[in-house]
């Protein structure tokens, strides 16, 4: 017999909330490790507690390398999207000019 769904809402009791955070954090770190091993994926996981404590997991490549790769990817994607929108504007203006002729 399976468990019922947990209602997703903030846990009001501070102690229960901390216990749940601790259990779920360790479960999430375990899942991150599992997906990195099973799928040979680079994984970087960052968690901050409500008190500001840092918990992190990264595969054999260090977190800095993963974050650098993420930043490069994000930048490249932004550049690609902006260049695509510029191309679309140019194409629309060319179509408009061709319609006038």
Domain-located, residue 87: yes
Residue spans of beta strands (DSSP E) within the chain: 44-48, 54-58
Q: What is the pLDDT of residues 12-21, one digit of tens each?
A: 999 999 999 9
Band of residue 79 on the pLDDT scale cut at 50, 70, 90? low
Q: What is the pTM of this model?
A: 0.64
Domain-located, residue 101: no
The CATH code of the domain that includes 78 is 3.40.1810.10
Domain-located, residue 100: no
Domain-located, residue 67: yes
Q: Flag whether pLDDT at 94 surpasses 70.
A: no
Domain-located, residue 5: no
- Domains identified in the chain, total number: 1
Domain-located, residue 31: yes
Q: Which residues contact 45 (CB under 8 A, 6 or more apart)?
A: 28, 29, 32, 56, 57, 58
Domain-located, residue 33: yes
Residue numbers of the domain that contains 79: 14-95
- How confident is the model at residue 10, as a pLDDT? 94
């Amino acid at each position: 017999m399976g468990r019922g769904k947990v209602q997703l809402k903030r846990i009001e009791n501070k102690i229960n909330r901390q216990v749940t955070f601790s259990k779920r954090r360790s479960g999430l770190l375990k899942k991150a490790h599992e997906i990195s091993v099973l799928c040979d994926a680079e994984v970087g996981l960052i968690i901050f507690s409500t008190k500001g404590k840092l918990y992190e997991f990264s595969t054999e490549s260090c977190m800095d390398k993963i974050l650098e790769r993420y930043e490069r990817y994000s930048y490249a994607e932004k550049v690609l999207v902006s260049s695509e929108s510029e191309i679309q504007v140019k194409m629309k203006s060319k179509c408009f000019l061709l319609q006038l002729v």
